[in-house]
Amino acid sequence: MFAARSVLMFALLPVFAGCQLLPSPSADGKVSTAGMLRMQGTLSGDGGKLYFQPCSEQRRYAVTDKGNTGILQEAASVVDKSGKAFADVRGNFVASKAQGSDGQTDVYQLYRVERPGNACEDPNFKRLTIHASGNGPKWNLNASGKGMVLEREGQDEFAVPYMEEQMPEGRFNLITDANDQHVELYVAPQRCVDPVNGSVQHLTAELRVNGKVQRGCAYFGAMRND
């Protein structure tokens, strides 16, 4: 019942927030997010508005979905019993004296939304370039400037250097050969939902180990600004 009320609360927020004017697009038709801030925090609804409160801060910002990211709908699918969701976003944060908030955030990119937990205290996030994971069986891959760490259910941890191969349309691969293992991670910019925890991430991932394929979702860590 609590969850149902939480979803309803989000559903009643203004759904036209993403219909405002956008900055001028670049030559490829996309709005550049260069210079915008990336922040993680908590989303909640209050008085018919959606608010974002950054991790470890008391300030909260009224949210406007300038990038048509669908943040309102995505958050409604993962809110907890208190009506809150964790979000990882990029946008413009502007201080203001608006009643009920400490400013406004114009969201242009949504990296992920998930149920509130320990994401704000994640010790790995700040040093990662990408995190990917999947299920059946469960696997988890963290890549940074120092190498790749692959964990698979029932298997020993695999920590090795890797190479990155860029592909068209924002896709890329991570590739490594070590210890008689050929590992590839194929990543594409496409909305992805984890069927186990319901989290929504901005990248799809396909892990291949010696030809065996497993699929999952991924998001950029703090060391990557795409």
C-beta of residue 216 within 8 angstroms of C-beta of residue 132: yes
pLDDT tens track for 111-158: 999 999 889 999 889 999 999 999 989 999 999 999 999 999 999 999
Phi, psi dihedral angles at 18 (to 5 degrees): -90, 10
Set out the domains of the chain in order of their start, with CATH numbers: 2-119 (2.40.50), 125-220 (no CATH)
User: In the predicted model, what is the mean pLDDT of residues 61-87?
Assistant: 94
What does the block give as tokens for 210?
Answer: 């010696």
pLDDT tens track for 152-177: 999 999 999 999 999 999 999 999 99
pLDDT at residue 98, rounded to an integer: 64
pLDDT at residue 26, rounded to an integer: 44
Q: Is the pLDDT of residue 97 over 70?
A: no
pLDDT at residue 86, rounded to an integer: 97
Q: How far is CA 98 from CA 40, 131, 209, in A?
A: 22, 36, 53
Mean pLDDT, all residues of the chain: 86
Which DSSP symbol is given to 17?
G
pLDDT tens track for 18-56: 323 334 444 445 677 778 999 999 999 988 899 999 999
pLDDT at residue 203, rounded to an integer: 98
